[in-house]
Structure 1
Amino acid sequence: MQDLNGMERFAPGLATLSREDLAGLIVFTILWTLFEAQALSTNAALGRIVELAERWGRDGHLESRWHMPVFHYFKARYVENGQPTQHFENLFFHDEKSRAHTLATLGGNADGNAECLSASLLIVYRFRNDFFHGMKWAYDMKGQRDNFEHSSQLLVGALKVVQKLRHM
Structure 2
Amino acid sequence: MKRVIVKKGDIFFVKINDTTKRYFQYITNDLKQLNSDVIRCFKKIYSIEENPNLAEIIKDEVFFYAHCVVKFGVKLSYWEKVGNITNVGTFEHILFRGTNDYGTIEGEEPIKVSNNWYVWHINDVVSEKVGKLEGENRKAEIGIVMDPESIVHRIRTGCYDGFYPDYE
When normalised by structure 2's length, the TM-score is 0.23
State the structure with bigger RCO (CA 8 A, min sep 6), 1 or 2: 1
More helix as a share of residues: 1
More strand as a share of residues: 2
